[in-house]
């Protein structure tokens, strides 16, 4: 490997690195504003100037490739003077409003001017003023503070794939704006706030609500979709003030979706803080004891086969296990987690995972989407697909029309016949597939929902097995799960080995059930008959509306819990705040009911629950690790039917009870609907 | 140069006329197919030519669709170059150079005349719409400073008197000839007509 001299220290670097990256290897910190490792190089802030031998002028280290034998110095007088000069220029037009700026305390400009800047300015003219720009309900702008690093512009065009932000004018009059000040049409737009090194782009909902140093920071994970993005939850007392991304190269890199970031105001609204009982068709506040008495009385007078439970989308593994154990105790096997009838085969763990892993997307050379819309179903995963599309020019094909995905793809068919042709190797796509070494097939829930869902899944799997594309080295079979609780629920055998039967849905329809226990389940749509409905959850949403008894429990930021993401990675969600009012953790609710019912605890402590859980997770390796690979065993034959593959649209900003309670999300949704109405061309 | 304002009144649609469309297609042929967005600047220029010397937003949209570019990219280019006008200008568009050499030779006096004769503010079209003026950066005729450009022609070696004369001629719709207003031929020296005994320039 080539070598470079940095401050007299010799360092080996990989060819293709820039001087700045080599300096980082040497442990030398270079101040920078415009450079960001995940974006293209702009080289316009000039903060990273360093001295190089045989160069009379300082050079911009972020844009200069490192070469063999360079002698770089970063601690000389020249560098110091250059940094001071750049800093003075940057601050010439920057307002001195740090005391009222939301970025204060976590501002790159503030920090770097402290370390590398000068204490006075020689600029005696008037500072420039730039009018505020409207960028939608999520991003607050204060463009006078902008230092034109263009990180936001590069993020929007490169990562988010919505080239809507740009720099207009030039020289002193340059301004960053969206085209005609429209809001940014991206599910990743919130990330420009983290990218902005100054306070020009800040979070609108979080404006003036807290200072970074007074917040308690909890490292946790997101559960609003099945990707399991790593987040940091910032709380002030009980309130969750904001949610920020946490670096995880395996999942979300350093981005999170807008839903993850901005749903947090939903955690403060519509909360269930005390048990309720329906009396004379009205929900009345009650105590825990009263509510549990009502439930137990009802359970005792009902046959166990007439009790059913539905698991919601945000439940942790602990909650799921407690739910299942509780139903074992009642002697009922009527459990379901699906909101719609889609085909799932829980016989092997592989059958419900994104097996290639999110990192694997980058290794792939061909992607086939089957009835899924990754942009809305798994935004962060879609960002990864776009990344590989940009970097490796990966070809992307789709069966079914998922709409704008921020990258180019080719639709090769819109019905099940296309899939059959591919399986029977009669389709022209097969020649492309045969050439590919690491293809990736992503099957969405919309495809599995079809009557042919079983055929699509099983036959594609057999096809891939035949092609030797399901091995422990490369597994091309991927299911795009939408809910955070799904993989965990299947691992804990919630369906009781009843494979692919829709018994639960049929029984609901034929009014067989007398008691229906909804655990955080708000998205399950059914016609209510005279069932006695128990709703346990955190938000007064669709489930609570129809409930006869409501038991309040914690939201995901308020309890410790494990979640399995769509890759089967077990991650820990940590308690950042405490449950609202009288609400308690969801597993404790089951303990409470069991104690009143059978006079014994379901679990002695949280630790025994965790231990039991670790034993039950299939192919479990370790926390934050992908599961082990297990060879699939038997083949299942399913019937084929000619059908059109229609991708069910998702109400992205309204997909779960927390985001439905959030005002910010509903603002975003309104704007999106308005754009849809007027057409994308304004 | 100040930031260019987008005209509040905008035509709803824009499309190249038959003649301009043919030119546009000719321009596109100069670039490889995958790089057709390279044609954005000549296209903007065409649009400006077709639309009375200014580019409406509809044209920006039309061009970005024509070249499959994001709107904002075309908008960025249109706002960057001072040669593109985003709001209407007069029939005679006066661009006065105010960069250092011209300024030393008295460009500020020419600006004063423009303010008196045409309009109080830059980019403001005179009452009958004949004329508007603006300050621009160096137009590359420093040897004939101070100078101004009216539509496609350079008027050089100006002073207050000659500027006033030219602007008056604009209002009469009988514009004077372009070139030096101190009797120079192109950039030849003013007093010594011959160098080394022979006619020069």
- Angle between helix axes B40-50 and B57-66 (nearest 10 degrees) is 140
User: Under an 8 A CB cutoff, do B76 and A171 touch?
Assistant: no
Give the per-residue SS3 of A543-565.
HHHCCCEEEEECCCCCCCEEEEC
Give the per-residue SS3 of A313-338.
CCCCHHHHHHHHHHHHHHCCCEEECC
- Per-residue pLDDT averaged across B2-12, rounded? 77
Closest-CA distance of chain A to residue B67, Å: 15
Which top CATH class is B18-80? Answer: mainly alpha
pLDDT category at A673 given cuts 50, 70, 90 is confident
Tell me the pLDDT tens digit for each residue of A512-526: 899 999 999 999 888
User: Under an 8 A CB cutoff, do A173 and B1 touch?
Assistant: yes
Rounded distance between C-alpha atoms, residue A571 and residue A248, angstroms:
12
First to last CA, chain A: 53
**Helices and strands: H and E segment counts in chain A:** 22, 26
User: Under an 8 A CB cutoff, do A179 and B3 touch?
Assistant: no
Rounded distance between C-alpha atoms, residue B156 and residue A668, angstroms:
57
- pLDDT score for A621: 86
Superfamily of domain B92-180: Glutaredoxin (3.40.30.10)
CA A48 to chain centroid, in Å, comes to: 33
- β-bridge pairing A549-552 and A282-285: unpaired
The vertex-B127 CA angle with B123 and B130, nearest 5°, equals: 70
**Residue located via tokens 């920090």:** A111
Closest-CA distance of chain B to residue A183, Å: 13
Considering only residues A501 and A346, tell me which one the structure prediction assigns the higher pLDDT. A346
- Per-residue pLDDT averaged across A159-164, rounded? 92
- pLDDT score for A682: 42
Q: Which of A59, A33, A64 has the alpha carbon at shortest distance from A47? A: A33
SS3 content of chain A, % helix, strand, coil (to 5): 35, 20, 50
- Least confident window among A417-421, A571-575, A670-674, B163-167: A670-674
Cα–Cα distances in Å, from A81 out to A85, A86, A513?
6, 9, 78
Cα–Cα distances in Å, from A309 out to A90, A551, A620?
61, 14, 26
Q: Which residues of A touch B72 (CB under 8 A)?
A: 163-166, 178-179
Closest-CA distance of chain B to residue A166, Å: 6
Q: Which residues of A touch B3 (CB under 8 A)?
A: 168-169, 173, 175
Interface membership of B71 toward A (CB under 8 Å): yes
Instruction: Quickly count: other Cβ atoms within 10 Å of residue A651's Cβ.
Output: 13
Rounded distance between C-alpha atoms, residue B49 and residue B40, angstroms:
14
- Per-residue pLDDT averaged across A271-279, rounded? 93
- Per-residue pLDDT averaged across A471-475, rounded? 89
> Considering the entire predicted model, what is its pTM?
0.91
Q: What is the DSSP string of A430-495?
A: HHHHHH-SSEEEEEEHHHHTSTTHHHHHHHHHHHHHHTT-BSSS-B-EEEE---TTHHHHHHTTTT
Interface membership of B1 toward A (CB under 8 Å): yes
Burial class (CB in 10 A: 0-12, 13-18, 19+), B5: exposed
- β-bridge pairing A477-480 and A532-537: unpaired
Average pLDDT, chain A: 91
Domains of chain B: which residue ranges?
A: 18-80, 92-180
Q: Which of A571, A575, A594 has the alpha carbon at shortest distance from A583? A: A575
| pLDDT(A663) > 90 | yes
User: Under an 8 A CB cutoff, do B79 and A168 touch?
Assistant: yes
User: Under an 8 A CB cutoff, do A173 and B61 touch?
Assistant: no
Q: Which of B175, B200, B199, B82 has the alpha carbon at shortest distance from B134? A: B82
Q: Which residues of B touch A179 (CB under 8 A)?
A: 70-72, 75
Three-state DSSP state, A91: helix
pLDDT category at B200 given cuts 50, 70, 90 is low
Please tell me which residue of chain B has the smallest CA distance to A157. B70
Cβ-nearest to B70 among A163, A170, A175: A163
E strand or H helix at B71: helix B71-80
Cβ-nearest to B79 among A164, A169, A681: A169
Q: Which of A576, A662, A669, A516 has the alpha carbon at shortest distance from A224? A: A662
SS3 content of chain B, % helix, strand, coil (to 5): 40, 10, 50
pLDDT category at A47 given cuts 50, 70, 90 is very high
Q: What is the DSSP string of A163-178?
A: --EEEES-GGG-EEEE
| pLDDT(B192) > 50 | yes
Closest-CA distance of chain A to residue B13, Å: 13
Q: Which residues of A touch B76 (CB under 8 A)?
A: 166-168
Q: Which of A522, A365, A541 has the alpha carbon at shortest distance from A439? A: A365
| pLDDT(A245) > 50 | yes
Rounded distance between C-alpha atoms, residue A507 and residue A529, angstroms:
12
Tell me the pLDDT tens digit for each residue of A537-546: 999 988 888 9
- Per-residue pLDDT averaged across A639-658, rounded? 90
- Per-residue pLDDT averaged across A301-320, rounded? 92
Mutation target vs A (from B4, B13, B62, B71; most A CBs, 10 A cutoff): B71
| pLDDT(B83) > 80 | yes
Per the DSSP assignment, residues forming a β-bridge with A221 are: A230
Rounded distance between C-alpha atoms, residue B156 and residue B188, angstroms:
13
- Per-residue pLDDT averaged across A631-641, rounded? 80
Cβ-nearest to A179 among B2, B71, B80: B71
At a CB cut-off of 8 Å and minimum separation 6, what does A610 contact? A318, A562
Closest-CA distance of chain A to residue B101, Å: 20
| pLDDT(B196) > 70 | no
Closest-CA distance of chain B to residue A32, Å: 25
Share of chain A above pLDDT 70, in %: 99
Token readout for A604 is 């002695």
Rounded distance between C-alpha atoms, residue A424 and residue A455, angstroms:
13
Cβ-nearest to B76 among A167, A171, A681: A167
| pLDDT(B194) > 90 | no
Please tell me which residue of chain B has the smallest CA distance to A181. B72
Please tell me which residue of chain A has the smallest CA distance to B2. A173
Tell me the pLDDT tens digit for each residue of A485-507: 999 999 998 887 766 678 888 88
- Per-residue pLDDT averaged across A193-215, rounded? 94
- pLDDT score for B1: 42
Cβ-nearest to A168 among B61, B70, B76: B76
Please tell me which residue of chain A has the smallest CA distance to B6. A180
Q: Which residues of B touch A167 (CB under 8 A)?
A: 76
pLDDT category at A678 given cuts 50, 70, 90 is low
Is residue A17 a contact partner of residue A66, using CB atoms and an 8 Å limit? yes
Rounded distance between C-alpha atoms, residue A405 and residue A407, angstroms:
5
pLDDT category at B6 given cuts 50, 70, 90 is confident
Closest-CA distance of chain B to residue A681, Å: 9
At a CB cut-off of 8 Å and minimum separation 6, what does A256 contact? A190, A191, A222, A229, A231, A243, A244, A245, A380
Share of chain B above pLDDT 70, in %: 93
DSSP A682: -
User: Under an 8 A CB cutoff, do A179 and B75 touch?
Assistant: yes
- Per-residue pLDDT averaged across A96-113, rounded? 92
Interface membership of B124 toward A (CB under 8 Å): no
- Per-residue pLDDT averaged across B62-73, rounded? 93
Share of chain A above pLDDT 90, in %: 72
- Per-residue pLDDT averaged across A259-278, rounded? 92
| pLDDT(B195) > 70 | no
User: Under an 8 A CB cutoff, do B3 and A171 touch?
Assistant: no
- pLDDT score for A593: 92
Per the DSSP assignment, residues forming a β-bridge with A284 are: A277
- Per-residue pLDDT averaged across A465-473, rounded? 89
- pLDDT score for B39: 94
Token readout for A655 is 């997909």
Cβ-nearest to B3 among A157, A165, A169: A169
- pLDDT score for A583: 93
Closest-CA distance of chain A to residue B6, Å: 10
Residues within 8 A of A (CB atoms), B 4-33 only: 4
| pLDDT(A375) > 50 | yes
Q: What is the DSSP string of B156-191?
A: ES--HHHHHHHHHHHHTT-PPPPEESSS--TT--SS
First to last CA, chain B: 35
Closest-CA distance of chain B to residue A134, Å: 15
Q: Which residues of A touch B2 (CB under 8 A)?
A: 173
pLDDT category at A90 given cuts 50, 70, 90 is very high
CB–CB contacts below 8 A, A to B: 37
């Amino acid at each position: 490997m080539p070598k470079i001299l940095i401050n007299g220290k010799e360092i080996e670097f990989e060819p293709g690195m820039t001087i700045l990256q080599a300096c980082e290897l040497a442990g030398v910190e270079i101040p920078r504003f415009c450079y960001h490792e995940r974006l293209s190089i702009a080289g316009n802030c000039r903060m990273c100037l360093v001295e190089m031998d045989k160069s009379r002028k300082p050079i911009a280290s972020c844009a200069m490739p490192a070469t063999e034998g360079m002698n770089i110095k970063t601690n000389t007088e020249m560098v110091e003077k250059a940094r001071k000069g750049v800093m003075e220029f940057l601050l010439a037009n920057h307002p001195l409003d740090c005391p009222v700026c939301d970025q204060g305390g976590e501002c790159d400009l503030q920090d770097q001017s402290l370390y590398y800047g000068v204490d006075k300015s020689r600029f005696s003219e008037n500072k420039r003023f730039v009018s505020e720009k409207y960028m939608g309900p999520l991003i607050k702008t204060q463009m006078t503070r902008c230092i034109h690093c263009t990180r936001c512009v590069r993020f929007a065009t490169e990562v988010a794939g919505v080239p809507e932000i740009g720099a207009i004018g030039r020289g002193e009059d340059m301004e960053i704006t969206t085209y005609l000040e429209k809001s940014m049409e991206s599910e990743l737009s919130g990330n420009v706030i983290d990218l902005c090194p100054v306070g020009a782009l800040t979070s609108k909902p979080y404006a003036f609500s807290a200072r970074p140093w007074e917040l308690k920071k909890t490292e946790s994970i997101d559960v609003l979709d099945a990707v399991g993005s790593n987040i940091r939850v910032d709380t002030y007392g009980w309130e969750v003030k904001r949610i920020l991304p946490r670096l995880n190269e395996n999942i979300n890199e350093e981005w999170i979706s807008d839903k993850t970031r901005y749903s947090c105001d939903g955690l403060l609204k519509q909360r269930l803080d005390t048990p309720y009982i329906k009396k004379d068709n009205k929900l009345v506040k009650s105590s825990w004891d009263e509510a549990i008495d009502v439930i137990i009385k009802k359970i005792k007078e009902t046959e166990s086969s007439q009790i059913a439970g539905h698991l919601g989308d945000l439940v942790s593994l602990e909650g799921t296990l407690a739910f299942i154990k509780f139903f074992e105790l009642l002697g009922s096997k009527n459990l379901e987690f699906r909101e719609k009838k889609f085909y799932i085969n829980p016989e092997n763990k592989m059958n419900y995972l994104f097996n290639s892993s999110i990192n694997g997307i980058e290794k792939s050379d061909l992607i086939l989407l089957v009835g899924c819309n990754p942009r809305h179903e798994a935004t962060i995963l879609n960002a990864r697909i776009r990344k590989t599309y940009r970097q490796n020019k990966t070809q992307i094909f789709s069966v079914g029309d998922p709409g704008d995905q921020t990258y180019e793809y080719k639709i090769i068919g819109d019905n099940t016949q296309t899939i059959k042709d591919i399986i029977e190797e009669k389709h022209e796509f097969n020649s492309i597939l045969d050439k590919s070494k690491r293809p990736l097939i992503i099957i969405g829930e919309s495809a599995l929902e079809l009557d042919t869902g079983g055929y699509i899944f099983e036959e594609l799997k057999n096809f891939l097995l035949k092609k030797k594309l399901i091995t422990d080295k490369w597994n091309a079979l991927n299911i795009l799960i939408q809910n955070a609780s799904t993989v965990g629920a299947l691992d804990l055998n919630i369906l009781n080995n009843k494979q692919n039967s829709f018994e639960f849905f049929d029984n609901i329809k034929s009014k067989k059930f007398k008691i229906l226990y909804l655990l955080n389940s708000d998205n399950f749509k059914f016609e209510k008959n005279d069932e006695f409905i128990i709703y346990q959850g955190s938000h007064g949403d669709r489930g609570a509306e129809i409930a006869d008894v409501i038991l309040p429990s914690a939201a995901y930021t308020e309890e410790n819990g494990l979640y399995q993401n769509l890759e089967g990675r077990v991650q820990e969600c940590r308690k950042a705040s405490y449950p609202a009012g009288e609400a308690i953790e969801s597993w404790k609710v089951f303990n409470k009911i069991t104690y009143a019912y059978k006079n014994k605890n379901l679990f002695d402590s949280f630790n025994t629950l965790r231990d039991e859980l670790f034993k039950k997770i299939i192919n479990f390796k370790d926390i934050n690790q992908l599961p082990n690979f297990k060879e699939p065993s038997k083949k299942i034959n399913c019937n084929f039917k000619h059908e059109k593959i229609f991708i069910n649209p998702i109400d992205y900003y309204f997909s779960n009870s927390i985001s439905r309670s959030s005002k910010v999300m509903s603002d975003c949704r309104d704007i999106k609907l308005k754009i849809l109405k007027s057409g994308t061309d304004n | 140069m100040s930031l260019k304002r987008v005209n509040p009144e905008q035509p709803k649609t824009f499309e190249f006329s038959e003649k301009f469309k043919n030119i546009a297609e000719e321009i596109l042929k100069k670039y490889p197919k995958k790089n057709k967005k390279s044609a954005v600047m000549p296209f903007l220029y065409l649009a400006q030519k077709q639309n009375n010397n200014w580019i409406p937003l509809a044209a920006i949209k039309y061009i970005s669709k024509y070249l499959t570019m994001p709107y904002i990219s075309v908008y960025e280019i249109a706002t960057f170059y001072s040669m593109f006008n985003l709001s209407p200008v007069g029939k005679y568009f006066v661009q006065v150079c105010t960069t250092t050499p011209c300024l030393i030779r008295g460009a500020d006096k020419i600006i004063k005349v423009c303010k008196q004769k045409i309009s109080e503010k830059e980019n403001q079209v005179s009452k009958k719409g004949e004329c508007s003026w603006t300050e621009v950066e160096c137009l590359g005729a420093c040897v004939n400073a101070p100078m101004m450009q009216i539509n496609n022609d350079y008027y050089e070696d100006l002073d207050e008197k000659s500027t006033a004369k030219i602007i008056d001629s604009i209002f009469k719709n009988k514009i004077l000839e372009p070139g030096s207003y101190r009797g120079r031929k192109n950039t030849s020296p003013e007093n010594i007509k011959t160098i080394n005994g022979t006619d020069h320039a």
